[in-house]
Amino acid sequence: MIESVIPIRKKYVPKGIEILYEDKDIIIIIKGADLLSVKNKVEKEKNAQQLLTNYIRKGNRSATNEIFAVHRLDRETTGIMIFAKSLAIREKFADQWSEVEKKYITLVHGQLKEKSGTIQSYLAESKDFKMHSVSDPKKGKLAITKYNVVKESIKFSLLEIDLLTGKKNQIRVHMSEQGNCIVGDSKYGKKKSAKLALHAFSIKFKHPFNKKEMVFTAETPAHITSVITDAQNLMS
C-alpha cells in the first residue's frame, strides 16, 4: 500500500468513507454503499465530495479549500474513487483518463455462455432516467466493458470487470442486457434482495503532477462476500 503523504486524521474521517491516501494534489478514498459521489438537487450535504471538503477544512474555520471528483460511482456501488484538490489537477486527469486502469468485482445472476469477453454498445438515457443500448451511434455514447468469469455456481457468477470506458450505469446495463443482472440491482434487474454486489476494487494511474505510477486496491466489502458465501460456497 502506498503511504499517505499527508497524515490521515482518522478521528475526523466521515462515516461511509475510508481515506487511503492524500497529498497536496489528490485524495484517494473507498466509498461506502448508499452514498452519492457528488451532490445533486436533493442531497447537497451527504455525499462523498462534500464530506471530504468538510474533512480537509477541519480545524480551520476560514478555510475555503474545495475538492473535485475525478470520476463517479453510483450511490449503491462501493469502492475506490479519486478526488482532485484543484480544477487544474482534475483537468490533468481528464487528459489521461483513457490510460487509467479501473477494475471491479461483481456477482451476477446465472452463468455466462462466454466465460470472458468484451461487451460494446452505445448507451442512451430514457425518460425514466434508465440507461439502455441503442443501435444508432449518434443517439448514444460508446461504452466498452471487458469481463472475465472468476468462479461460478449454478445460480451465480463472480466476475472481474475491466471498465474500458466510464458511462453512467455502464456495468449494470451491460450485464442486465446480457441476461445476467447484478445481484441486488433493482433498477436493471430483479427485485432487490440485497445491497448491490458491485465494487471498484482496483485503480492504476500516473500521478498528474509527478507522473509516478500509483496503484490502489480495496478489499471486497462484507455485503458482497456474505452473498458469495451464501451462494453455494462460491469462493471455495
- Does 2 map to a domain? no
- Does 168 map to a domain? yes
pLDDT in tens, the chain (236 residues): 799 999 999 988 999 999 999 999 999 999 999 999 998 767 666 899 999 998 988 855 555 578 999 999 999 999 999 999 999 999 999 999 999 999 999 999 999 999 999 999 999 999 888 999 999 999 999 999 999 999 988 889 999 999 999 999 999 999 999 999 999 998 998 766 678 999 999 999 999 988 999 999 999 888 787 766 665 554 44
CB-based contacts of 186, cutoff 8 Å, min separation 6: 192
- Does 206 map to a domain? yes
- Does 3 map to a domain? no
- Does 4 map to a domain? no
- Does 44 map to a domain? yes
Closest of 210, 3, 208 to residue 85, by C-alpha: 208
Structural domain total, the chain: 1
**Residue labelled with grid coordinates 460494446:** 120
DSSP 177-232: HTT-PBTT-TTTSSPP-SS--EEEEEEEEE-TTT--EEEEE-PPPHHHHHHHHHTT
Q: Which CATH number fits the domain that encloses residue 85?
A: 3.30.2350.10
- Does 235 map to a domain? no
- 3 state SS of 44: coil
116: β partners = 148
- Does 236 map to a domain? no
How far is 227 from 139, CA to CA, in rounded Å? 37
DSSP 134-175: ES-GGGSEEEEEEEEEEEE-SSEEEEEEEESS--TTHHHHHH
- Across the chain, how many H-helices and E-strands are there? 4, 11
How far is 193 from 190, CA to CA, in rounded Å? 8
Question: 84 lies in which domain range?
Answer: 10-230
Catalytic residue among 34, 74, 128, 136: 74
> Would residue 74 show up in a list of annotated catalytic residues for this protein?
yes
